[in-house]
Structure 1
Amino acid sequence: MELDAVDWKILSLLQTDGRMSFTALGREVRLSAPAVTERVRRLESLGVITGFTAVVSPSRLGLPIESIVRVRVRSLDTPRFRDTVLALPQILDADHVTGDDCWLLRVVCRSMVELEDLVEVMQRYGDTTTSLVFSSHVRNRPLGPDLFTPPSG
């Protein structure tokens, strides 16, 4: 898929501010609002842009406990794990991964008691390892053309 410099600039701007108007985008990339609209629609139709969303602070909403839970699910329990655990509202992200663990889950909870209860549910399907998140230094980093350029040196 070939993206030009204008496409990348549009993607960069929208990843920083998904609410930016087509008029403001046009000013930034030196195109008319209709031309920018057409490019954004093309990027959506190609599946490059998959949606627009608000980034919400769980701690500001009363969910101060964030953790990463690694789960080694027993093979026969995988369908029930998917149906039961992955449907829980405390699960923000669930990645099926290779290695010793099968699942890497990002979880938010109101309290340590709630986290303990949640981990107990997960342990019905296999072994867990839970790590509390002290802080996040990189989250939702925008994708850019530099990922496709080999590093120099």
Structure 2
Amino acid sequence: MPLDALDARILRLLLDRPRTSVREYARILGVARGTLQARLERLERDGVIVMAGPRVSPAALGHPVLAFVRIEVARGHLDDVGDALASVPEIVEAFSITGSGGDLLTRVVARDNAHLEGVIQRLGRLPGVVRIRTEIALSERVAHRVLPLVESLSPAEGSDGGTRGAESGGEDGSGGAQREAR
């Protein structure tokens, strides 16, 4: 779905200030609350905005080690292994991938290296797993973000639509907007 300038301004504002009310968003954007509400509903319906709960830090939950684990799967077992990954709580994401690096790429968190080794051994015992390659993340260089992508899709009106530099909060939009009762 193509975004127009107002859609882009709305998305930038949601990413810059995820915990602001719809009424305040409308005021900042200079549009009627009903117009903004209709746009938000359309963006949600079209899958542009995916409302999720708060982002929770695995490190704050006692799992500071992050690793990317590539799993090579025997032919015909991709679905079985993919389904089995959902039962491993330390796997926070898993994707089917292409290329020579395996069939699945998982993001795994652990308490320490010994715990990570146990998770990897558990993955290696799953029926259909042929090979595992693990890469431990040393530090995060670019946090999960989508604001630069949104800004690249539509030229900014003026410099930034008056939404930059305000309270920061999870530019991935995971905090969501606190919506007023309808």
Pick the TM interval, shorter chain: 0.7 to 0.9
**Would you say the 8 A contact 1:18–1:52 is kept in 2?**
no
Query: Shift in Å at residue 111 of structure 1?
Result: 2.2
Structure 1 residues 6, 37: CA separation in 2 closer, same or farther (over 3 Å shift)? Answer: same
> Unaligned stretches of 5+ in structure 1?
none
**Would you say the 8 A contact 1:18–1:53 is kept in 2?**
no
Query: Shift in Å at residue 94 of structure 1?
Result: 0.8
Bigger drift between 4-13 and 45-54 goes to 45-54
Aligned residues: 149
TM-score by length of 1: 0.86
Structure number with the higher helix fraction is: 1
RMSD between aligned residues:
1.9
Structure 1 residues 27, 52: CA separation in 2 closer, same or farther (over 3 Å shift)? Answer: farther
Give the 5 Å matches for 1:7-22. Answer: 7-22=7-22
> Unaligned stretches of 5+ in structure 2?
156-182
Instruction: Please list the CA deviations of residues 31-66 of structure 1 after superposition, one character each: whole Å capped at 9, or x if unmatched.
Output: 122221111001111121122332222111111111
Higher relative contact order (CA 8 A, sep 6+): 2
**Would you say the 8 A contact 2:71–2:131 is kept in 1?**
yes
Bigger drift between 40-49 and 8-17 goes to 8-17
User: SS of 1:76's equivalent?
Assistant: coil
Query: Shift in Å at residue 73 of structure 1?
Result: 1.2
The 1-side partners of 2:103 and 2:49 are apart by 28
Structure 1 residues 3, 76: CA separation in 2 closer, same or farther (over 3 Å shift)? Answer: closer
Is 1:103 the equivalent of 2:104?
yes
Is 1:120 the equivalent of 2:124?
no
